[in-house]
Structure formats: C-alpha cells, structure tokens
Structure 1
Amino acid sequence: MESGEASLRLRGQADIWKFMLSFADAMALRCAVELRIPDIINSHGGPVSLSQIASAIPDSTSSSPDISCLARIMRLLVRRNIFTAQSSSDGSEDTSSTTLYGLTHSSRWLLSDDPLTLSPMFLMETHPWLMAPWHCFSRCVREGGIAFEKSHGREIWDFASQNPKFNNLFNDGMACTAKIVLNAILSEYKDGFGCVGSLVDVGGGIGGAISEIVKSHPQIKGINFDLPHVVATAPAYPGVSHVGGDMFESIPNADAVFMKWIMHDWDDKDCVKILQNSRKAIPQKSGKVIIVDVVLDPQGNALFDDTGLVFDLLMVAHSSGGKERSKNEWEKILKEGGFPRFKIIQIPALPSIIEAYPE
C-alpha cells in the first residue's frame, strides 16, 4: 500500500514537471516554423541531415548556424512525433550527417506553401503579444475583466486597429484556419447548401468564405455581410454582393444565415441578439442558420475534445467575453434566440456545424 502511494506521488511530481514546462514543446516547434525546417525537409523530397537543414536556413546572420542547438531542439520534436529520425548508412561518425530527419503527418500541417497550412496560426498564438494575456488569468478570476485588455491596455480589436504588424499577424492566423475549416465544410456539408437559394455570411470579412461556397454551389446568391469599413476593402467575387452593417441591428434577408467562428466571440446575451436578428432575416418555415463553432464535450474522448477545452481558455485570453459552448449551452441560447430545433453535424475539423431552424 505504501509503495503504491509512493508510486502515485512520484507520478504526480512527474506530471507537475510536465505541465510546468509544457511551453517548451510550443517554443521548440515555433523555432522550427520560424526557421522553416518543415519546408527545408520537404524541398529535399525526403529525410535530410542536420547539416543540410542548417545550410538551408533562410536569413541566417551566421555562416555557421549552431548545429548543436539545432540537434537538441530536433531531438525533442522527434520525441513529440513532429519529425522522424533515422540513421544513415554512410559510416560517418558525424551525427550531424548520420541522422536524417523527415516529416510526419503533423509537420506537414506546417508547410508554408501548403494551402491548408497552420503555420500562420501557430506563429500568431505563440507570439509574445498573444501569450501575455495568459499571464493575467489569476487577475481575471480575482477582479473580473478582460485578459487581453489587462495585458495590453486595450481590447484586441482596438489593439489591432492601432498596430499594423499585429493586425497582419492576426489576420494571417485567422485566414489560414478559415481555409482549413471551410475545406472541411465544403467536403462534408454538400447537402446542407444544396437547397439554399441565397446565403448571407454574417461577419464574413472580405468575402473569402462565401465566395468559395458560391463557387461550389453556383445556385446560391451570396451576401457577404460585415462592418462597413471591412466590406469597403472587399474584392469583387462572382455571385457575391457585399453589404455593410451591424449584426446587432439587422441582418440582410436570405434563405439561410451562415456564421463561422462568430458566436464564440460573444457572451450569451449578445449571441441571443444575433440569433433573433438572424431569425428575422430568414423565411419562417424553410429558413435556417448554419453555425460553425466548437461544441464542447468536457468528458469526451473524440479527436478534438481536449483542444476544445483549451480553445475555451483561448477565448478568455483573447476575446471580450466570448466562450466555447457545450451542447446544452448551445440549446439554451438557440431556444432564446428563436431556434427551438437544431442538429449538430460533425466535420473533420476542430469546430462542428450547428444547423438550427425557427420551427
């Protein structure tokens, strides 16, 4: 019994060390992304040595990068299954040339020229600007308030409007995840768009998402709806019209309302208002809202369930009152917003589709 208790206590100590230093995984991987190591390996068409990686690192200020430091970083990332490592058979004793590093299914998501890369999002979320609010969580618990504002003196949208470099970092991160999610939607939700004649994308930015939906479903008349200053810079897309306005006041009429990663930015009261305006915008009997957002399952073991809980804390760190929601929480705000019926459709991505109906 004592030995069993001692074993559990030791395991507990090991866990605390792991959590204490878990940032090291993210920082090692950030280094690999900044040095474009996945791209370097991919450009060779197969596993490469440390010397080959070092010689191809872009914008190096030194003619001789620190291969020892690189080796230690790569060793951890191999342990984390980000890269593979195998010994070559050239007989050399130089480890920088005898170990060859390759890509895995994970590191392929970090190729910068892949249309579905996660590199911009990774660089965004691990940037000091976006890491700083996490250090304010205890203050948020004690005092309430917004973590981002506590760390930077203003909320994220105001910070972005006054800091072009941050704005670009943020927009690039959002754009890359939007492509990944939209790709999953278009591949798995074909029937959902099939009977829609007109679709309004609420908070659609400059119209990238609605243009892709219309391209795949040409029968749809697309409406890209966002704040006036946002749609003012939107390019022209076939089959898409841009409308400026405020979703808290009214939403353009359409057969269906589409909202991708919009609701999680707002508290329940604001979400109910958006839903009420959505209901006014669609036909009473045949209309629907198509919400793309995380559905939390705190006890779940599905592929993205753990990440969903982390994403909820991400909303604490970066949003102004936003949250991820469980099925019961979605049911509550949908009902209050005028949508008593809904169904959840799983797609191969972090969020799900919540299809809701006014009757």
Structure 2
Amino acid sequence: MAPLLAEVSPQDLLVALAELHSHVIGYMKSMALKCAVDLGIPDVVLRRGGAATLADIATETAVHPAKVVDLQRLMELLSTTGMFTVADTSGTVVYKLTTAWRLLLGTLNLSPMVPVLVSPPVVSSFFSMGDWLKSEPAAAGSLFELAHGCSIFEMTKSDATLNRMLNDCMAADSKLFVQLIILDKDHIFRGFSSLVDVIASAFPRIKCTVLDLPQVISQSVTGDGKVHFITGDMFESIPPANAVFLKNVLHDWDDKDCVKILQRCKEAIPSRNAGGKVIIMDMVIGSTTGNEKISEMEALRNLYMMHASGVERGENEWKKIFSEAGFSNDYKIMPVMGPYSVIEIYP
C-alpha cells in the first residue's frame, strides 16, 4: 500500500472515498433535479395529494415501461439527497414531497431557475475555470466569455431559447422575492410617485418604469398601463425616478462596473432630503451564521457568479462600492430571508 494510504484506517479510507465520489459525480444531483422538473415529477406527486408510488409517477410522466427501473434509480438519488422522503405503505414504496419542492411548485415558484443554471452554455463554461484563473483579466473577460467568446447576455441576442429561459428565470425570482418584500417590508415603497422595476400591482399609485436590454423588453407584455418599458443601457443613463430598484443586478458585475451603475442611479434620483434612494436586493454573505446549508449555498453561489465576472458580497464589500459611488455611509441592510437582503442607500 502507498505510504500515505498506509497511515489511514480502512474506515477512514472508505469515508474519504465516499467524499471523493460525492464531489466528482456530484453534478448528478443537478442532472437528476433537472430531469425531475422536465418530467413534471413533483407535479405528479402534488396532484396525488403529496404522495405517489413509482408506478404512479411512471404512468403520469409517460416513462417507457422498460425504463421504470431506471426511473427508480432517479428517485433513489433524489430521495437520498433530500428532495423526496420515502415511506413504505403495505409493502409499496411511496414518495413524498419535501419542503424544498415548495419552491418549485405553485404560482410563485423558482422552477425556471433549474433549466438555466444547468443549461449546456452555463455548465460548459466551468470546464474552462482552470484556464480562466491563469489568464490575464483583460484578455480573458468573464469565464463565460473565455469559454464561448461572448457574455451570456450577448449570447441571448442570437439564442432565442436561452433568452427566453434566462428571462423566465429572472421573472420567477423577482415575483417570489418581491412578494416577500411587499408582505414584510412594504414601507420601503411608501411615498414614491415613480419607481424603476417594481411590482406595480401592489402599489397602483406608483409610476413604474422598467429599463432593460432590447431582447428582454421584446418579451415583456403589459396591457394595463401600470408599467412603462424602456430599452436602454444602465451604464449610460437611467430614467429619472424617486427611487431605483436593483434586484440581483449588482452581483453580476465586478466592483468597478458596480460603481458605474450606482453613479448612474445617483444621477437619476433626487436628493436624500427629497426622498431619493436606491433600493438593492441582493445577497449579503456572512450575515447568517451557524447553518452549514446556508454557508454552502453562499459558497456555491459565489463561485457560480464567476461565470459572469460577478460576485456575492459581504457587508464590507458592499460598503466599499457604495462609498466609491458617492453614496452616504449610513445605508440600511434589511434581511428578507437569510442572506437575501434589501439594502437602502442614499445620495
């Protein structure tokens, strides 16, 4: 036995081997989840009152009879990793939904997130991570750019499917988290006559203007006149408003670009005495302690943002870019759900 292995007990070696396999083929968890969403498995279980047998799932998802045994393997992985619970009812295995599925079912759900985050363009970009880490920043651009020759936003101009998936993902995320803000922190939007990018139906008195890229605006539909859509570039100018709402925008950009965006925001809003402010919804990592799952999520999200040269930030990192953009240092951070927070900054 090799010298290093000789120093390890068989039991510890087995645990190490299991840990190694968990990392090397851990992507199977993502693929299994995508498959379950694609097949509509959680919907089947929900329709059956929250519990379904393998036969129920196979029948309602039109799985080929010869591949039911393979469907069972899929369900075993999803159960082992906590997406389903398993119960034995009179000798028949029954799969039940866990809390995690609540985020992927119903009118406010994050299911559009799954096909985007595990799409071939996104996943394949991480095969270039080692090369990107060794490359000159200016030459490589983002990790996605190194792998594909363009940013993900540039790719959406020519890839209609990716454009639709990305827009659906961001829309679903906005619907869920903005509802959380409205339910718990509606005071944030009181007193405004105009606001960029917020759910207008909850505040009919507010004039809402959405600034976005052409390929996003082209897919936006509104018939009630509550929301006005404008094609533009936030690095150039932002429409005048009492407040600017940036949801999951700044984490897509490095510090230098964030400062530019915030400077344009500062130009668009009135003075603080007149009620001007910028409302940011983004993660504040490190704000929730003592939970390993949340810490792992923060680390995963932070590494994932590498594909766009973005970053998830802690409070000190946020404070730095606020200061460089010319905002006051008495910002407010209001947690919405764990590290997901609303930040108010003032000119």
- What band does the TM-score fall into relative to the shorter chain? 0.7 to 0.9
Aligned CA distance change for structure 1 residues 8 and 196 (closer, same or farther; 3 Å): farther
Identity over aligned pairs, percent: 36
Aligned to 2:183: 187
1:17 equivalent in alignment to 2:6: no
8 Å CA contact retained: 1:181, 1:349: no
CA offset digits 1:132-177 (Å, max 9, x no partner)? 0111110111114222122223221222111112222222222222
Distance 2:288 2:172 in 1: 29
TM-score by length of 2: 0.87
1:127 equivalent in alignment to 2:99: no
Aligned to 1:55: 59
Aligned to 1:221: 207
Which amino acid counterpart does residue 204 of structure 2 have in structure 1?
P
Aligned CA distance change for structure 1 residues 350 and 27 (closer, same or farther; 3 Å): farther
Distance 1:139 1:222 in 2: 43
Aligned to 2:345: 356
Aligned CA distance change for structure 1 residues 197 and 351 (closer, same or farther; 3 Å): same
8 Å CA contact retained: 1:200, 1:256: yes
1:295 equivalent in alignment to 2:295: no
1:109 equivalent in alignment to 2:103: yes
Distance 2:215 2:21 in 1: 48
Secondary structure at the residue paired with 1:52?
Answer: helix
Distance 2:219 2:67 in 1: 45
Distance 2:289 2:339 in 1: 13
TM-score by length of 1: 0.84
Aligned to 1:330: 318
Which amino acid counterpart does residue 180 of structure 2 have in structure 1?
A
Shift of 1:5: 6.8
Aligned to 2:131: 139
**Count of equivalent residues:** 332
Query: What runs of 5+ residues in structure 1 fail to find an aligned partner?
Result: 92-97, 202-209
Distance 2:263 2:160 in 1: 34
Secondary structure at the residue paired with 1:323?
Answer: coil
Distance 1:131 1:357 in 2: 38
Give 1:311's match in structure 2, choosing from 287, 293, 301: 301
8 Å CA contact retained: 2:157, 2:215: no
Alignment of 1:1-359 (within 5 A): 6=9, 11-58=15-62, 60=63, 62=64, 64-89=65-90, 98-111=92-105, 114-144=106-136, 145=140, 146-201=142-197, 210=198, 212=199, 214-227=200-213, 230-231=216-217, 234=220, 235-284=222-271, 285=273, 286-297=275-286, 300-302=289-291, 304-317=294-307, 319=308, 321-340=309-328, 341-348=330-337, 351-358=340-347
Distance 1:80 1:108 in 2: 16
What is the alpha-carbon root mean square deviation over aligned residues?
A: 2.5
Aligned CA distance change for structure 1 residues 241 and 124 (closer, same or farther; 3 Å): closer
Shift of 1:344: 0.8
Aligned to 2:3: none
Distance 1:141 1:287 in 2: 40
Which amino acid counterpart does residue 341 of structure 2 have in structure 1?
S
8 Å CA contact retained: 1:38, 1:108: no
8 Å CA contact retained: 2:284, 2:339: no
Query: What runs of 5+ residues in structure 2 fail to find an aligned partner?
Result: 1-5
CA offset digits 1:201-249 (Å, max 9, x no partner)? 3xxxxxxxx2x2x221223222222346644664344333333332222
Aligned CA distance change for structure 1 residues 4 and 220 (closer, same or farther; 3 Å): farther
8 Å CA contact retained: 1:255, 1:282: yes
Aligned CA distance change for structure 1 residues 10 and 78 (closer, same or farther; 3 Å): closer
Secondary structure at the residue paired with 1:34?
Answer: helix
Shift of 1:305: 3.9
Aligned to 1:204: none
Secondary structure at the residue paired with 1:108?
Answer: helix
